[in-house]
Amino acid sequence: MEKLSQEKLPKFLNDDKFKWFAVGIGLLQLVTIVLGFLTHIALGIILTVVFAVTVVLLYDMAKKISVETTKYIADLSYRIKRGEQEALIKMPIGILLFNEEYEVQWTNPYLQNHLGYQEVLGKKINEVDKELAELIQNSNTSGLKTAHWGGNIYQIIVQEDIRVVYLMDITEYAQIQEKYEDEKIVIGNIFVDNHDEIVQGMNDRSVSSLNNFITMELSNWAKEHHVYLKRVAEDRFIVMMHRSSLATIEEEKFAIIDRIRERTSKQNFPLTLSIGLAYGDNDLSKLAKLSQSNLDLALGRGGDQVVVKSTDGEPRYYGGKTNPMEKRTRVRSRIISQALQELMKQADQIFIMGHSYPDMDAIGSSLGVRRIAEMNGKEAWIIIEPEEFSKDISQLVDEIEKDNSISRYIITPETAKEMTTANTLLIMVDHHRPSLSIAPDLVEEINNVVVIDHHRRSEEFPEKPVLVYIEPYASSTAELVTELFEYQPNDGNPINKIEATAMLGGIIVDTKSFSLRTGTRTFDAASYLRSCGADAVLIQRLLKEDTDTYLLRSHLIETIEFISDSMAVATGEEDQVYDTVVAAQTADTMLNMTNVDAAFVITKRSDNRIGISARSLGEINVQVIMEKLGGGGHLSNAATQIEDRTVAEAKEMLRAVVVNQEEEEKE
């Protein structure tokens, strides 16, 4: 029995607990036999026979269990080994073994079929298949990689320690994933920018013909690209499409907006479209809100363009190649004026802040908004940073300080932080990007923010502003603020001479003496400011430059280099700091030269960043170029600042953007 238990029985039957249980049963049986003999000798004999038979049967059963278990285990081991061998040979996973020299030592039949009938053993992987060799070398890090090979898509694992490559064909699943991505829903809004202005002077028949033309053009475009189109108003459409359709339309750079603008221009009523498209979320209500937000962004940038954005991605811009058209109605100015008055009356403190390194427009519009607050019986404080003043702004501030009724309302960012309350109103003028503010932390801290700006809107924007007045068609923010005076209380203190002068100076500087971005309302605003006592002679004196500035500008012009047929760039020395005004004036001067349609001036700034000042005559959109370098501005007037780069590196970055844009336009 002991021999059986040690050699024959399986381990699970050779357990100590099982042994003690068997001994206990045996002792109980012996006690039963003894009791049987004591009771009656015949009963004892019968119990002894039963015990002997039971022992024999148990012994025989234990032997059979041992044999069957051994047989089962042997069979299972064989099947496992056979399964491993079959798997290596037949399973749909490519396996390749290689040595230290990247020579093929073995491949399973599945991978051999993909390599063809060539002899591969002993050859270098690069000789067998260059594409496969590159995949293996590029995937020698741990983890699962997805790669394209031989027209299929594979998941690849390379185990360098044992020099084995595993390739799993996931083409079918990748195609399902691709189809899922292609069929994601895209929701959009199409808005006819200047529909109301165009139809004002038309009769009913002409209006109907125009509407039919727009509907027909958009319907044909929608049918061509499998887009659902629904007109919900005379100047508004909604669209729905699949992601694959959007990809095709993006490849065409949304040619529909150019086609409609060109065809209507030939008929003397140039219509432009703005489109906002959103995708990337299964919640259609969220997509609808995002598409409207994208449309607002397109309109805020001046219209005639498309903004495409996913729920978690960066916006992509198309179009925006034309100057925004001037609106003919002042209704919005009146509405904004009334809303601004209400916000001012409800505020405890009113702060007005321009952009860092302010120009004449930022200072002038700040003074104008402060006067509007005073007309409504409220005190307003202008936030400035004296260390960021250029020469002309320093002279202007000196003139302002002569008037104590104004100068006492000029404070620094530190003072503003101490005065801030829970009900403070912050008015951002001549900019809308918090990062460009004199005190960006104030924009984040204050809940009630108003934006008054004339630059094309960018993605960076204050979170939940209470009022936004962005009009890219305006020449300057000073022009927008001047129009607001028409709707202020008549019994308030009128605008004084220095305020009118600063605002007129802002208009003159931003329009290059009324030569760029100038409309009828620009002249109306200038006329009003002149009637308020704006001193043109003082403006001329403030804008005068000294000999050193003139020589610096001349030196920059000497470095002119053409980076394309019509784009010129001038660069300053790496170790010399240039004033931002000098760079801007140099770019303006370059536009007066033959064959220069766009000018860029790259210089080192006082904050150790590299500044690029960009100007154009309107045919080239320098705003788009500057946005790709982290900046922004207008179609014909833009800039950017680049950190941790040299002037030469910034020049190469600019050149790369220009070359890439020209290639896209050619395509």
Q: Is the pLDDT of residue 88 over 90?
A: no
Measured CA to CA, the distance from residue 276 to residue 292 in angstroms comes to 6
> Which is nearest to 456 in space by CA: 195, 665, 631, 254?
631
CB 427 within 8 A of CB 452: yes
User: Under a CB-based contact definition with an 8 Å cutoff, are residues 446 and 416 in contact?
Assistant: no
Tell me the pLDDT tens digit for each residue of 597-640: 999 999 998 888 999 999 998 788 888 899 889 888 777 888 89
Nearest to 441 by CA among 426, 451, 429: 426
Give the tens place of pLDDT for each residue, 284-324.
999 999 999 899 888 877 788 899 999 888 888 888 766 55
- Whether residue 10 has pLDDT greater than 70: no
Tell me which range, 48-62, 258-272, 327-341, 561-575, is most confidently predicted by mean pLDDT: 561-575
C-alpha–C-alpha distance, residues 635 and 614, integer Å: 10
Radius of gyration of the chain (CA): 41
- How would residue 86 be classed by pLDDT, with cut points 50, 70 and 90? low
Neighbours of 182 (CB within 10 A): 13
Query: Do the bridges between strand 632-633 and strand 637-642 make them parallel or antiparallel, or are there none, so unpaired?
Result: antiparallel
Q: What is the overall mean pLDDT for the chain?
A: 84
Give 361's pLDDT tier (boundaries 50, 70, 90). very high
Confidence bin at 19 (pLDDT 50/70/90) = low
The CATH H-level superfamily of 91-175 is: PAS domain (3.30.450.20)
Per residue in 148-191, pLDDT tens? 777 788 888 888 777 888 888 888 888 888 888 889 999 999 99
- Tokens at 590, concatenated: 């370059």
Task: Specify whether the CB–CB gap between 614 and 625 falls below 8 A.
Answer: yes
Confidence at residue 279, expressed as pLDDT on a 0 to 100 scale: 94
Assigned CATH topology for domain 331-542 = inorganic pyrophosphatase (n-terminal core) (3.90.1640)
d(CA 260, CA 217): 7
* Per-residue pLDDT at 139: 67
pLDDT number for residue 4: 45
Q: Which of 107-116, 405-414, 534-543 has the highest mean predicted lDDT (pLDDT)?
A: 405-414
Backbone φ and ψ of 254, nearest 5° = 50, 60
User: Domain 547-666: which topology?
Assistant: Diaminopimelate Epimerase; Chain A, domain 1 (3.10.310)
The answer to whether 571 and 654 have CB atoms below 8 angstroms apart is no
Tell me: the pLDDT tens digits for 250-263? 998 898 998 988 88
**How many residues can be counted in the chain?**
667
Domain regions of the chain by residue span: 2-88, 91-175, 192-319, 331-542, 547-666
Q: Which residues is 309 bridged to in the sheet?
A: 278
For 222-249, how does the pLDDT look when each residue is reduced to its tens digit (9 = 90+)? 999 999 999 999 889 999 999 999 999 9
Q: How confident is the model at residue 362 (pLDDT cuts 50, 70, 90)?
A: very high
For the ranges 323-332, 356-365, 419-428, 623-632, the lowest mean pLDDT is seen at: 323-332
Percentage, residues of the chain above pLDDT 70? 92
pTM for the whole structure: 0.62
How many of the other CB atoms lie within 10 Å of CB of 28? 9
Please check whether residue 376 is in contact with residue 345, taking contact to mean a CB–CB distance below 8 angstroms.
Answer: yes
Q: What share of the chain in percent tops pLDDT 90?
A: 34
Q: What is the DSSP letter of 624?
A: H
Token pair for 60: 């025989």
Residue 70 is predicted with a pLDDT of: 73
Residue 115 has pLDDT above 60, yes or no: yes
Assigned token pair, 565: 């047929």
Longest dimension (CA), the chain: 145
> What local confidence, expressed as pLDDT, does residue 13 receive?
54
pLDDT at res. 508 = 92
Q: Which amino acid is at 608?
A: N
Fold match between domain 192-319 and domain 331-542: no
Q: What CATH number labels 192-319?
A: 3.30.70
Number of Cβ within a 10 Å radius of residue 279? 22
Long-range contact set of residues 405-411: C-beta below 8 Å, sequence gap at least 24 = 406/367, 406/370, 406/496, 406/498, 406/499, 409/370, 409/379, 409/380, 409/381, 409/382, 410/381, 410/382, 410/384, 411/381, 411/382, 411/383, 411/384
Mean pLDDT of 552-559: 90
pLDDT at residue 3 is higher than 50:
no
| Predicted pLDDT of residue 427 | 96
What per-residue confidence (pLDDT) applies to 83? 67
